[in-house]
Structure 1
Amino acid sequence: MCRNGDIMIVRKPHYYDEFRCTASKCSDNCCRGGWLIELDKKTEDYYRSLGGSIGRRITDSLITDEDGDTCFRLADGQCPHLDAEGLCSICVSLGEEHMGVVCREFPRYSLTYVQNGTEVTEHGVGLACEAAEALILFDEGKLCITDTGTEETEEAGEQNNCEEADTCEKIGDSEETDAGMLLAARADIINILEDRTRPVKSRISDVLEYAVSLQEKINEEPEEYELETSGDAADNCILLFDIYDGLEQLNSSWEEWSSLVRQTIFEEDGFMKLTDELCSIIPDYELLMENLMKYFIFRYYMKAVWDCNQLDKVKFAAACCLIIRQMLAALAGKQNGGVTREDIIKLVRVFSRQVEYSEDNVEAVCEEFLFGDELSAGNLRNMF
């Protein structure tokens, strides 16, 4: 279990501390996202202990979802406590410290594992928020990941999920999984991606090849089919979209985007034509793809401490970049080449809210990489 006073390592990318919620200035407020937001038990108990009109207003808005979790009942697809100025009325009335953990922390995320007997918690901010996207997508610098030592507190233990940390400790300290080895590999991958003397598609190709080679060493057997290429690149990309379309729909805009991609690229046989033109259409295209890959690698790669399969984390990152690239190509086709940074931020946010904010959706995609030969590393490379 997490114990108060234990020393742990906190690891975060350089942009993490720069993040600030823009609240009422946000053009796509997450409180209007149509999501049922789960309340943690501590916050729920506090709300139910309140008296007066604010206590009644909050408790009257609480419902139990199909999983048995307590959530706020949505009103016209948005949180009922969002005021006319686009601010959280609970935060305004009671203070930020009395918001639920999810509301207080979004779009931040954490991952906890054990490295050489020391608990490590990695923090980041996700792409479902435009303020976070502005920090990540067009950052021209190198990804700097900093480590700090801190004392674990009761509150931090709650947020980082002690049960998850216990699981990490059991697996992360085993002979099968070496967190230090994975960290070194992640650093190698990021270094490959940041070699801007070569086209980004070549860098992504090298990363996939690197991950295949490393997985062979971990499994002590060859990944015989992984670097082979089979089928047509456009057909394989259709298969990739079929997988993402089959996920639980979390974003109402996803179906519209998927349909646009299929119409403007696949049905008009423009798969390579439009995507090849993106470098000239979008001046920051190479930087955008590099930063997207680094984001997905930082966020998901260390989950391999659980299953020893770092290859599917790299394939997931590459597939996410492919999907976003095809969405960009479709938008460029629709708008006759005019794609702004604001367009890119909105598009990436649609993707992130559809895919990343359901662990089931992420796991479903990764399972396809484990069992589907059509989505081999070789075929993913061929799609770029």
Structure 2
Amino acid sequence: MLHRLVHGHVEAIPKDEREVWMWKLMQLDARDYVHLLLIWRFNSFGHHTVADGLIMYDKISMLSHSCEATCCWHYGPNDSFVLRARVPIEPGDELTISYIGDEELFKSTDIRRQRLQGWLFTCHCHRCDEPVDYARGFRCTQCHTGVVYPYTEWKDGSSPINGDSRASKHRWCTSPCTFCRTRLNESDMEELEDLERQYDERLAVTEADDEADIQLVYTEGAKVFSRGCHWILHQMDVWLAAICREKSDWLGAAAHQKDKAEFLARVTPLANYSYAWCFEEIADTYLNLIGATSASLITKAACNQMLALYERSFYMLTVLCGSEHTFTQSALSKWSNIRSIMLGIESEPSPATAAVETEAAEQQLSSDIDVVAADGDDNASGTRSVSMYASDDYQGTAEIPGQQPNDDDDHHPV
């Protein structure tokens, strides 16, 4: 058995040391060896500088998973591991991270739990045990306007939140429709769930760049699911927003980005990269739309809207990776550009005056970091990789009318 485990790895040991190492391995109990291999398999992190590389940490590797994790992480200078709090943490509180990336975190509870089976456990975090699954918003079959969510009603007083083994006895119903307050019965819910399974299977064979096919599935899916409320439509919003940006269809991009932001705010309002970049890409889209039509459309109101979006992205990225990270500085740079434009609209100051006022405002924005960083407001591989946290790293740029694009404003992978 031991020979089968080490087969294919012996060649990595220098020839003059192989005999000694093989002798040492033979002294190990095979069960201990398997135990060590499983630790390496399930507690390691993917490493960003070596393809298929894995790395272990003495304490960080012991962190538990949560679909609503209290912490996030990234690699810092000199390959340092940076762990950051997403919410206020008191002494004695458990530190948790997510083993899966944004692409899975935004899906339904059953899919997240299935994905986490790669680590040989069933997740019972607060989000997974919550009766209502807000990643599964269906259009009400009565009024066709409001949203209904699957609701797990537990019998006999059992509850998975309390770790009750009797909690397997439950029945499906729905939360009241957000518009007409209708509750769908169990047979209606079974029909919707059957349609949901079919769309899930259809989505699995849909290419992310096949616009015609995605639009077909999206149009039909919007008759079953509520826009901005279901993970299946959200996945297609992600694809279609990227396609629209690629072909400079800024109105189309804005529509799908709006639904993306609405879904993310509902499903996972804590700081995460997809949520932060969603605000930044919406602001970029507004600016690109103005640039593609007329620079005269840049009004004070439009600037205020873009400033608010860049600012929110900046604060959220500050929580995730710090104020000096490339991602955070990109949002701040774009905010500064819009601030300069707005100052010009307000008073037509000299370039020197505008620069001074923008720098002062930028310093004020940066000085607020400590307050916001403490505010959480607003893989089956078995290993964890920093790239998981941003399943589709946002690479967008915004062209300031009358200026050349600045390559430094792009995001760069960690």
**What is the TM-score with the length of structure 2 in the denominator?**
0.28
Q: Which has the higher contact order (CA 8 A, sep 6+)?
A: 1
**What is the TM-score with the length of structure 1 in the denominator?**
0.30
